[in-house]
């Protein structure tokens, strides 16, 4: 029972263009969502989050959009840079008092080509 789904295992974009990474979820009780970025042989690092009461959060080149009716969120990276090449994980914390427990998607490998 996968509550957070990333259906695209990989994505390749050209430097300077937009990267759009998608995530779907099944649990409408999630309070917020997070994106983590992971380079090879490193641990995941927090990138950006969004509260379930918002539909957009922007931080520099990174913007996350939340569509609650569709139970879908997306991460936009504009413009994409080769250093953005990494695996991106969508995650959400359990609700009901256990919001320390993150559920992660399987991740999407982004490759930004120079």
Partner 1 sequence: GAGVSQTPSNKVTEKGKYVELRCDPISGHTALYWYRQSLGQGPEFLIYFQGTGAADDSGLPNDRFFAVRPEGSVSTLKIQRTERGDSAVYLCASSLVAGGTGELFFGEGSRLTVL
**Which residues make up the interface to partner 1 (CB under 8 A)?**
4, 6, 32, 34, 41-46, 49, 89, 91-93, 98-107
Closer CB to partner 1, 18 or 29, in the complex: 29
Instruction: Give the span between the Cα atoms of 63 and 50, in whole angstroms.
Output: 10
β-bridge mates for residue 51, sequence order: 32
Closer CB to partner 1, 42 or 114, in the complex: 42
Separation of first and last alpha carbons in the chain: 38
Closer CB to partner 1, 2 or 81, in the complex: 2
Closer CB to partner 1, 9 or 16, in the complex: 9
Closest approach, Cβ 15 to partner 1, in A, equals 27
Contact (Cβ atoms closer than 8 angstroms) between residue 25 and residue 71:
yes
Q: What are the DSSP E strand ranges found in 1-114?
A: 4-5, 10-14, 19-25, 32-38, 45-51, 56-59, 62-67, 72-77, 86-93, 102-104, 108-113
Closest approach, Cβ 38 to partner 1, in A, equals 8
Closest approach, Cβ 39 to partner 1, in A, equals 10
Closest approach, Cβ 79 to partner 1, in A, equals 25
């Amino acid at each position: 029972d996968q509550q957070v789904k990333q259906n695209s295992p990989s994505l390749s974009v050209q430097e300077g263009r937009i990267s759009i990474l998608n995530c779907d979820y099944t649990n409408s009780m999630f309070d917020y969502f997070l994106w983590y970025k992971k380079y090879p042989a490193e641990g995941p690092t927090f990138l950006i989050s969004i509260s379930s009461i918002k539909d957009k959060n922007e931080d520099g080149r990174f913007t996350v959009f939340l569509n609650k009716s569709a139970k879908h969120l997306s991460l936009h990276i504009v413009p994409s840079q080769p250093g953005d090449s990494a695996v991106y994980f969508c995650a959400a914390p359990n609700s009901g008092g256990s919001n320390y427990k993150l559920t992660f998607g399987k991740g999407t490998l982004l490759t930004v080509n120079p």
